[in-house]
Amino acid sequence: MLHQQLNRVERWIFDILALTLVLFYSYSAVWEPASTQFHRGVYIIITYVLVFLLYRSTTLWGRILDYVLIAASVVSIGYWILNFEAINYRAGVESNLDKAIAMVGVLIGIELARRVVGTVFVVIGAIMLLYGVYGEYAPELISHAGDTFPDLATSLFYKSDGVFGIMANVLATYILLFVIFGAFLEKSGAQRFFIDFPLAAVGHKIGGPGKVSVIASGLFGSISGSAIANTVSTGAFTIPMMKKAGFKPHVAGGIEPAASIGGMFMPPIMGAGGFIMAELTGLPYSQIMLVALFPAFMYFFSVYVMVHYEAKRHNIVGEKSEVNAMDILKKQWFYILPLVVISILMLMGYSPGYSAILGIVACLAVSWFRKETRIGPMEFIEASRAGAESSLKIGATVGVIGIIVGVLTYSGLVLTFADIVIELADGKLFLTILLIALASLVLGMGVPVTAAYLITAVVAVPALTHLGVNELAAHMIVYWLSQDSNITPPVCIAAFAGATIAKANMWKTAFTSFKFAKFLYLGPFLFGYVPGFSLNGSSTDIAVAFVLIVFGTWAYSWLLSGIWIDWFKKKDKTA
């Protein structure tokens, strides 16, 4: 953990800030559920300070610069918090100090993303800033009036669709609390249950270890919020188990990431994208959960069927567990309670933040059912620290995402892009979805998938709704496709993580993962062409659609597994 590399004082500062995140946002979720500029500002200040502490320079002058940047972050964001109303009143006639603070805030956001995510974000941010300033020199199709850098930075830093826009709002209101919830759930000992139970239930069947990977990834992935984290955590156990049972290394390494990305579609948490979707559509998160549930099951069903037939082709059977699945369920059923609490509360209409807090309380309660997993004061700090560190990967992108979305809106490129896609696809929904898949794949090579979803949704959803797709289904199309960079070559980090654990060839693993996750590309077409897939239509229409999709998914997975090829080969040999 990067935290261990800090000196004693810095570790104390980190732990205090992590506890502040947990306690302050727990209080806010219960007593002040509406996000304000103060909530967003505090979140971003703490995130910036933690990033500069963890992702620090190694030289003396570099460390001095780190603390200068920490001070500049606190000053610039603190200025935004304290002068929020005054700046809104003088919109259009901002002072020179307002503009100077804005420029500092925008540039710090880019540096922050560089440290955590890499140089790709710097390039994208720089290109968008240049486009925002010199838009009049761009090709006619995408040109706009442009502006000076101080005025553009002022617009990005102070307006609601910039640095403190949708991403900052959703992160501060929902996502942070669910990331912390995931850390507390893991600390309570639930992760072991998520592996032990499926291992006892299906581990001894055809392809048992592979099926354990699918089920465990669904259970753990729904709360981890990251396909890569899911791959690494459950894969550390399931991939060696699959190899031992007889799966080839690249197949074992490919199955785990293919199953892991399904956690991003699985309620109750769905990673971070579900909350952003709720913010963009204005729909209650409970409705998004209901719409996402059946497609998520179909995704896991598809991977499960392909694992079954892959194992059948090679006669791979797992070993019977010494413990009965029902015995595990009877002894450890309480680990399901935090997820049940969250699901029920959100379906009852409570806010996601409030539900997450009670979920954390449930984690604390269930941890005391077993002596070795009890969460005391030190364990509470450790879980808070782990949650805070996990949130930094996406929190560090707030500034650059604000720049990208802000410039897209400022320049009018959002509407222009929709027109371009519709024209290139010649009004055909099929080609429009393919173009969006390509755009999200390219974008996902350089930015986290949640960021890829938000940026792509801003420009692609209008094109889909123009072609008759309802808004929620359009967002689901973009959200599903935004996950493709995890398992689709050439840049597929989750698949490469699986290959590393499996000690397999990275490219063979990547293409195998791509094969097992093919429903990722079928799902968006179902959202676009089958209204019942997103619960749009009469009860009869939805029921018929569900039955046909279950059968179609089985047939689709059976065909992709290639087992029918072996059947024809055997028939030819017999003849």
> Does residue 562 come out as left (phi exceeding 0), alpha (psi in the -120 to 50 range) or beta?
left
Residue 136 lies in a domain: no
Residue 79 pLDDT: 93
Residue 1 pLDDT: 55
Residue 474 pLDDT: 94
Three-state secondary structure call for residue 487: coil
SS3 of 293-355: HHHHHHHHHHHHHHHHHHHHHCCCECCCCCCCHHHHHHHHHHHHHHHHHHHHHHHCCCCHHHH
Q: Is the pLDDT of residue 457 over 90?
A: no
Q: Domain check: are 329 and 449 in the same one?
A: no
Q: Which of 331, 361, 395 is the last residue in one of the domains? A: 395
Q: Domain check: are 358 and 293 in the same one?
A: yes
Residue 71 pLDDT: 94
Residue 143 pLDDT: 87
Three-state secondary structure call for residue 232: helix
Q: Domain check: are 424 and 333 in the same one?
A: no
Q: What's the rounded mean pLDDT across residues 477-494?
A: 82
Residue 127 lies in a domain: no
Residue 315 lies in a domain: yes
Which residue's entry shows tokens 């990673």? 271
Greater confidence, 302 or 119?
302
Two tokens, residue 60 = 């003396």
Mean pLDDT of the chain: 84
Residue 206 pLDDT: 87
Q: Is the pLDDT of residue 230 over 90?
A: no
- pLDDT tens-digit series, residues 28-64: 777 765 556 787 888 889 989 998 988 888 788 888 9
Residue 569 pLDDT: 66
Three-state secondary structure call for residue 392: helix
Residue 72 pLDDT: 94
Q: Domain check: are 416 and 563 in the same one?
A: yes
Greater confidence, 31 or 206?
206
Greater confidence, 559 or 529?
529
CA terminus-to-terminus distance, the chain = 61
Q: Domain check: are 249 and 336 in the same one?
A: yes
Q: Domain check: are 197 and 334 in the same one?
A: yes
Confidence at 415, pLDDT banded by 50, 70, 90: low
Percent pLDDT > 70 in the chain is 94
- pLDDT tens-digit series, residues 491-548: 677 888 888 888 888 888 888 998 899 899 999 999 999 999 999 888 888 899 899 9
Which residue's entry shows tokens 């440290």? 115
Residue 544 lies in a domain: yes
Angle at 169 between CA 97 and CA 485, to 5 degrees: 110
Residue 77 pLDDT: 92
Residue 95 lies in a domain: no
Q: Which of 42, 73, 89 is the last residue in one of the domains? A: 89
Residue 487 pLDDT: 82
* CA-based nearest residue to 338, from 482, 220, 168: 220
Distance of CA 308 to the CA centre of its chain: 28
Q: Is the pLDDT of residue 446 over 60?
A: no
Nearest-angstrom CA–CA distance, 485 and 453: 11
Q: Domain check: are 224 and 272 in the same one?
A: yes
Residue 130 lies in a domain: no
Tell me which of 81-85, 476-480, 543-547, 560-564 is least confident: 560-564
Q: Is the pLDDT of residue 217 over 60?
A: yes
Q: Domain check: are 192 and 220 in the same one?
A: yes
**How many of the other CB atoms lie within 10 Å of CB of 506?**
18
Q: Is the pLDDT of residue 572 over 90?
A: no
Residue 380 pLDDT: 92
Range of the domain at 542: 410-574
Greater confidence, 452 or 527?
527
Q: Is the pLDDT of residue 216 over 90?
A: no
Q: Domain check: are 370 and 479 in the same one?
A: no
Q: Which of 361, 395, 429 is the last residue in one of the domains? A: 395
Q: Domain check: are 375 and 434 in the same one?
A: no
C-alpha distance from residue 153 to each of 39, 75, 101, 471, 533 (Å): 22, 16, 9, 31, 42
Residue 402 lies in a domain: no
Q: Domain check: are 426 and 381 in the same one?
A: no
- Looking at the structure of the chain, the number of domains it has is 3
Q: Is the pLDDT of residue 566 over 80?
A: no
Two tokens, residue 48 = 């910036």
Q: Is the pLDDT of residue 480 over 90?
A: yes
Residue 207 lies in a domain: yes
Greater confidence, 227 or 295?
295
Helix axes 413-424, 429-444, angle to 10 degrees: 130
Residue 546 pLDDT: 92
Two tokens, residue 256 = 């785990």
- Please, which residues have CB within 8 angstroms of residue 474's CB and are 6 or more apart in sequence? 460, 461, 464, 465, 527
Q: Domain check: are 365 and 430 in the same one?
A: no
